[in-house]
Amino acid sequence: MKKKSIFSEVQTKAFKYALAYELTIWVCDMRGMAYLEVADQNWLIRDIFTAFDPRFQQLFAYIINSTGLELMSSLRIEDLVQHDPQLHQRLQVGIFLNKESAQQWLTLPKV
């Protein structure tokens, strides 16, 4: 059995908590991570994003550092969600370099 990454362990706990309390707004501060492994990116899309209750719109704001932007691992997640009509209908992902921009995006009305 493959050992889970720290990222997937934390995301699983957060996901269970969010489901229990019907939370729909996420701020994920990824500035401490230079890169998110492709396996973790795929797992996030396949096992977490698709498991949310479709009755609720989920908003994910990822705060990354400039290295993360250069490596584009977070942008891949955003792109995968954008190009999956079922996911995009109930989930939006935004990528930001600072907390203020992320918070502003989370509070603006979504189309």
Sign of the alpha-carbon dihedral angle for 33, 54, 15, 50: negative
Quick check: helix, strand or coil at residue 89? helix
| pTM of the shown model | 0.80
Q: Which residue range is the domain that position 92 belongs to?
A: 24-36+56-97
- Would you say residue 78 lies in a domain? yes
- Say if CB 42 and CB 77 are below 8 A apart: no
Between 32 and 100, name the one with better pLDDT: 100
- Would you say residue 11 lies in a domain? no
Number of domains forming the structure of the chain = 1
Q: pLDDT (tens digit, 9 = 90+) per residue, 25-83?
A: 999 998 888 778 888 888 999 999 999 988 899 999 999 888 766 665 667 888 888 88
Residue 11: band (very low, low, confident or very high) from pLDDT cuts 50, 70, 90: very high
